[in-house]
Structure 1
Amino acid sequence: MGEFIMPDWLKNQDAETIHRRMMARLPPDIDDTEGGFPWDFTKPTALEKAELLQFHLVETLKIMFPEWSYGEYLDLHAKRVALERRAAGYAYAELEIEGIAGTVIPAGFAFAVPSVNSQPAIEFRTMEAAEIAEDGKAAVGVLAVLPGTSGNVPADAIVLMVSPMRGITAIKNPEKASGGTEEESDDSLRARIMEIEQGLDTGFVGCDADYIRWSKEVPGVGTSFVIANWDPAVKNSVKLVVLDSNGEPANDHILELVYNHIMSPEDRLNRKAPIGAILTVVAPTMKGIAYSFSASLVDGYDAATVADSISKAIQEYYIKAKSEGLVQYIHIHAIITQAPGIYDFTRLTMNGGIENIAIALDEYPGTISVDLGIPREVVG
């Protein structure tokens, strides 16, 4: 988004300038000295007019265009092109439950991550009923009760029943919960609006851009890309590769939501994909990259904060890197050079080398670590 530049006709409209013009237009025989009745009566008007011109009118101009609009006004621009802001997504996990064979775990039964210190317990509820099998085990999918990233808990964190149930003896989530995302930001929604407007009359229904746009209408989806005709044995085969809004491979729950949103298998009238298209929705194979260098920091910055800032900037670059099929060493070097808190650095390596890293068709780059060569608790 480009910076909003105030029109020339709105410049020099501060209260002092406006009031001077008002005083200059008084008849010659009227007292215009400060503190006189005309001066005192006109000053509040100048203040109100300046506020109207310099703030309210400027904000009105900004919300008229999606490039500078925000909040509920940006939602209205999205509605104009049949988009909605993505709601916050719910974290998903698969539980392994042990207990007495035949025990039925009903849909909506609550499990939780224990409360720690002042942090409240994080609850999850089963998506469907499950029964413990003869081997004393059951697997069931659970969704966080509250949306957002707080539900993205690590493996083996969901270990409690909110209400005790006879027949259950052990609970665990072997893999971390994922897919919990915050409500879509203005910048993300703005980018999707601009994508649609820039793509008008430049493609056909069911082109790659459509599949990407459709996938991003699903809560929790961040980045996606298309591999057309990926299966030579299947005519019109389309593979949609999806990451969540946290930059991680989308979990099975999100993948199913995307497939159902595009293909609508239960209601063909709402199907978005063209007739004959065979869609497969998958998570990418992540190409893990570890970054290492020796940094000197600006006074007042700590290694943890700087590393997190670099990680976020690299994550944003990955979208471009994927489109080019290459994570460029020189681009990573530039990101680190421009990072807040970096005074100087040497010996940058990516996975131990200084070569560009190729990204295969169904891969997506992911950051394993960012090592500044400084203990993360050291400051300055």
Structure 2
Amino acid sequence: MYESQSYAVILRRMLDRIPDDVDKRQGSMIYDALAPAASELAQLYVELDMGLRSVFPQTAVEDHLDDLTEPFGLTRNQATYAVRKGVFAGAAGVLLDVPVGSRFSISGVTYAAVSKIAAGQFEMRCETLGVVGNQHYGTMLPIDYIAGLVSATLSDVLIPGAGRESDASYRARFFSEVREPTTSGNKANYKKWALEVDGVGGAQVIPLWDGPGTVKVIIIDTNKQPASPALVSNVQAYIDPGAGTGDGQAPIGAAVTVVAATSVEINITGTISLDGSRTLSQVQIDFESALTEYLADIAFSSDPSVKYARVGAMLLNVAGVADYSSLLLNGASGNASIDAEALGVLGTVTLSV
């Protein structure tokens, strides 16, 4: 709002108030007296602008945004721990149970066994907050000695770890809360309950999906992927563990079914012309990264269809691409439709020159 109030503008305005028959050149007594004051006033305008931005949720950031939303009963989501599946075996590949609490390391990240899933399979909780717990797969090394253990493998992400909620995400959630008030078990209520469970990154609610009193809640995880069975179970237990008994968040009589979103693979082919600055493989890597980000952005949005024109524009924006032709999404030169219970996931990307 006060961007125009720069040091130079303020100093010029101050000097203009001095009569022209007085020496106002740089280095003069008048100039040297006014310059420090102009500098301080310019800094004051900067701080005034920051203060003004901090009192509106549209522009407030960090603690200022937290302070604005707190009276509405909202708090920023903090970082969470990833929960993974660990598979353990002894001699000859025979599955082996490990003690609950035993710790393992992979690529400098430590996981602890927290509960048994099945013979030789355990839920492993990362000891480091955030997305780092989602990243590594493969052989783990035991930190504690375990008799008979031959192999320890870190596999599926059961509940993805997430970093501290960003200002943009928290602001969007705040506006959704105040513009779509939750009350008496309405659709917004069910969506809010789902998002309160760690690991949930989005939810859709379908009322009366299987007759009176039934509600379906479809969820995705914070990686914008279909939720794991463990995450689905956690959300089911939180919202309605007893099919309408009112033991969870849902009111008595509401039979809630929580399911993971189905995935629709988006396969892309096309022919491109390179400008000579980059190789085909470099272009493909960047294009796939842009596509993955785009699919995450539109997951569970009001219009989740993958837009043909948007994909073409992304391809043209990749460094090294001069032009493209014969672009196809799932074999067609048009939008790829995705229904309300699904989300698009990147399949194969085949680019040729």
Task: Give the aligned residue type for 2:77.
Answer: R
Identical amino acids, percent of aligned pairs: 27
User: Does residue 244 of the first structure (1) align with residue 221 of the second (2)?
Assistant: yes
Q: What residue number does 1:378 align with?
A: none
Which of 98, 110, 123 matches 1:105?
98
TM-superposition CA deviations, 1:145-182 (whole Å, max 9, x none): 11222222465x14332212113333334545651222
Q: Secondary structure at the match of 1:180?
A: coil
Change (3 A) 1:51 1:98: same
- Which of 41, 44, 47 lines up with 1:49 in the alignment? 41
1:275 alignment partner in structure 2: 252
Instruction: Provide closer, same or farther for how the CA distance between residues 349 and 218 of structure 1 changes in structure 2, counting only shifts above 3 A.
Output: same
Distance 1:96 1:242 in 2: 26
1:88 counterpart residue number: 79
Paired position in structure 1 for 2:62: 71
- Equivalent residue letter for 2:269: S
User: 1:44: how far off?
Assistant: 0.4
Larger strand share, 1 or 2: 2
> In structure 2, what is the equivalent of residue 150 of structure 1?
132
Q: Choose which of 309, 318, 321 in structure 1 pairs with 2:290.
A: 309
Further displaced range: 61-70 or 91-100: 91-100
Pick aligned residue for 2:198 from 219, 241, 257:
219
Query: 1:98 deviation in Å?
Result: 2.8
Contact kept, 8 Å, 1:250 with 1:283, in 2: the verdict is yes
Amino acid at match of 2:15: M
> What RMSD, in angstroms, separates the aligned Cα atoms of the two structures?
3.3
Equivalent residue for 1:197, pick from 152, 170, 178: 178
Alpha-carbon contact 1:180-1:220 (below 8 Å) kept: yes
Whether contact under 8 Å (2:298, 2:304) holds in the other structure is no
The DSSP-based 3-state class of the residue aligned with 1:87 is coil
1:226: Cα distance to partner?
1.3
Are 2:134 and 2:157, in contact at CA under 8 Å, matched by a contact in 1? yes
Secondary structure at 2:220's aligned position in 1?
strand
Measured after TM superposition, the shift of residue 342 of structure 1 is: 4.3
Of the three residues 123, 132, 136, the one matched with 1:141 is 123
| Unpaired stretches in structure 1, ≥5 consecutive residues | 1-5, 375-380
Deviation at residue 308 of structure 1 after TM alignment: 1.0
Unaligned 5+ runs, structure 2: none
Out of 189, 203, 206, the position equivalent to 1:210 is: 189
1:46 offset after TM fit, Å? 0.5
Contact 2:338–2:344, Cα closer than 8 Å, also in 1: yes
Give deviations 1:230-249, integer Å, cap 9, x for gaps: 333xx522221111121112
Residues of 1 paired with 2:183 and 2:175: CA distance? 18
Q: Tell me what 1:290 maps to.
A: 267
What is the total number of aligned residue pairs between the two structures? 345
Residues 1:344 and 1:317: Cα distance change in structure 2 (over 3 Å)? farther
Q: Does 1:20 find its partner at 2:12?
A: yes
